[in-house]
Amino acid sequence: MNSDYMNDEMEIDLIELLKDIIKNIKFIITITLVCGVVVFGVSQFILPKSYTSSTDISIVPAGTSLDYTSYLTGSKVLNVSNKIDFEMSALVESIEVTRDSNNTYNYNIKATTINPKLSYRIVKNVVNEFKKSMISELNLSSVTTMNEPQINTTPVSPNVKKNTLIGTFIGLVISVGIVVLRFLFDKHLRNTEEAEMFLGVDVLAEIPLKK
pTM: 0.74
Q: Is 147 helix (H, G, I), strand (E, B) or coil?
A: strand
Distance CA 7, CA 1 (A): 11
The pLDDT tens digits for 90-117 are: 999 999 999 999 999 999 999 999 999 9
Best CA proximity match to 134, nearest among 189, 201, 66: 66
pLDDT in tens, 29-73: 999 999 999 999 999 999 999 999 999 999 999 988 899 999 999
CB 159 within 8 A of CB 50: no
**Contact predicate 126/77, CB 8 Å:** yes
The DSSP secondary-structure symbol of 54 reads: E
